Amino acid sequence: MSETTIRKHRSRHDRDRTEYSLYFALAYPFFLMGTIARKISRIGRPQGVGANRSGSIFAEAAEMAHSVLPWMFMGR
């Protein structure tokens, strides 16, 4: 037989993680559209210094979102 304890209150860290995940899910499509637009606008142009990213557009959009979203949590 096992015993389970249900916590009624989640820790602040758990709430922040859930909130971050929600913001990420809402913001990711916009970053994905921006990444696609940037890739399309650079077709046929020579690549500049440090611009030779040939990775996934999905990974690039996620990287952009993860670099911007922490700023929303600053000042709490």
Render 25-50 in DSSP notation, one character per residue: HHHHHHHHHHHHHHHHHTTTSPP-TT
Q: Is the pTM of this model over 0.85?
A: no
Please tell me the least confidently modeled range out of 8-12, 24-28, 35-39, 48-52: 48-52
Angle between helices 57-68 and 12-41 (to 10 degrees): 130
- At residue 44, φ and ψ (nearest 5 deg) are 85, -5
- What is the per-residue pLDDT for 6? 64
Could you tell me which residue, 47 or 56, shows the higher pLDDT?
Answer: 56
Q: What is the DSSP letter of 55?
A: S
